[in-house]
Amino acid sequence: MTTATAFAVTRAEGRAALVGYFPAGFPTVDGSIDAMKVMVECGCDIIEIGLPYSDPVMDGPTIQTAVQQALEAGVRTTDVLRTVEAVAATGVPTVVMTSWNPVERYGVERFAADLSAAGGSGLITPDVTPDVVPQWIAAADERDLDKVFLVAPSSTDQRLAMTTAACRGFVYATAVMGVTGARATTSELAPPLVARAKATTDLPIGVGLGISDADQAAEVAAYADAVIVGSAFVRTLLDAGPDRAAGLRLLGTVTEDLAEGVRRG
């Protein structure tokens, strides 16, 4: 399934989509697959798989901790692609979120081909703008992969329009300036940013960074097409420690809670 199909379903149901982020390889490769399958079963409409990288662009402390564990365990890009294959097999659209450097190192054309072969829907590239990665745009277009770029409150109107025009699948609006991490309140910068983005494109607009509970999810779902959550999921497994079964049960509860909030919004 593509993200476009998922958004068609959520639109028909009159609600936003819940997009769940989780890093591949945390606590292990198979453990991350199990976690993401629970997230799918409990209400995530789209899964974002994080590609662990030693120099994260916008990861806050929670995700950095999990990513560091994955890197120390030796997770490679091939493990990420295996994770994509396993999660995409559930029928839920699966996109990879990654810094640009690992894609370039792997080989842009090869990455696009292998991502497509694994059943992945596309790529979120938080640290590059469309004008600097023509090779990725060409490779993605050839395989109909989603190209998800980020817009921020600081984006000029011209830059915002250029970015949304290059996107396929959806547009990622960063609700707060800074790194990821659950926050006590959602950002007042997000609604005007979504409005600005919607003025430039018919694509769905997803809002991420800082959403940690059902009430915040409902608040964002009232004006955005997708609610993107990461740190709240990762924190649940970090807090559970070595008890994997308990961690997955808690993860299911957290996902159901956020999914309820999104549907309420």
pLDDT, position 57: 60
pLDDT, position 192: 95
Name the pLDDT band for 187 (thresholds 50, 70, 90): low
Residue 104 lies in a domain: yes
Q: For 246-259, how does the pLDDT look when each residue is reduced to its tens digit (9 = 90+)?
A: 999 999 999 999 99
Reply yes or no on whether the pLDDT at 180 is more than 50: no
Give the residue with greater pLDDT, 181 vs 75.
75
Q: What is the mean pLDDT of residues 163-190?
A: 74
Residue 262 lies in a domain: no
Query: Average pLDDT, whole number, for the chain?
Result: 93
Residue 81 lies in a domain: yes
Q: What is the mean pLDDT of residues 236-242?
A: 94
Parallel, antiparallel or unpaired: strands 122-124 and 171-174: unpaired
Q: For 81-104, how does the pLDDT look when each residue is reduced to its tens digit (9 = 90+)?
A: 999 999 999 999 999 999 999 999
Q: Could you tell me the residue range of the domain that residue 210 belongs to?
A: 3-257
Residue 32 lies in a domain: yes
Residue 250 lies in a domain: yes
Tell me the pTM: 0.94
Residue 154 in 3-state DSSP? coil
Q: What is the mean pLDDT of residues 117-122?
A: 98
Q: How many domains are contained in the chain?
A: 1
| Helices and strands of the chain, counted as H and E runs | 12, 9
Give the tokens for residue 84: 């994509």
Cα distance between residue 117 and residue 129, in whole Å: 25
Cα distance between residue 33 and residue 23, in whole Å: 10
Give the tokens for residue 256: 């159901």
Residue 48 known to be catalytic: yes
Domain containing 184 — which CATH number? 3.20.20.70
Residue 72 lies in a domain: yes
Selecting among 13, 34, 45, 59, the annotated active-site residue is 59
3-class secondary structure per residue, 81-120: HHHHHHHHCCCCCEEEECCHHHHHHHCHHHHHHHHHHCCC
Give the tokens for residue 17: 């989509």
Residue 182's closest CA among 153, 221, 216? Answer: 216
Instruction: Output 162-165 pairs: Cβ under 8 A, ≥24 positions apart.
Output: 162/129, 162/130, 162/131, 163/129, 163/130, 164/197, 164/200, 164/201, 164/203, 165/130, 165/200, 165/201
Residue 99 lies in a domain: yes
User: Cα separations (Å) of 73 from 55, 79, 182?
Assistant: 16, 11, 25
Residue 263 lies in a domain: no
Selecting among 45, 48, 114, 225, the annotated active-site residue is 48
pLDDT over 90, % of the chain? 87
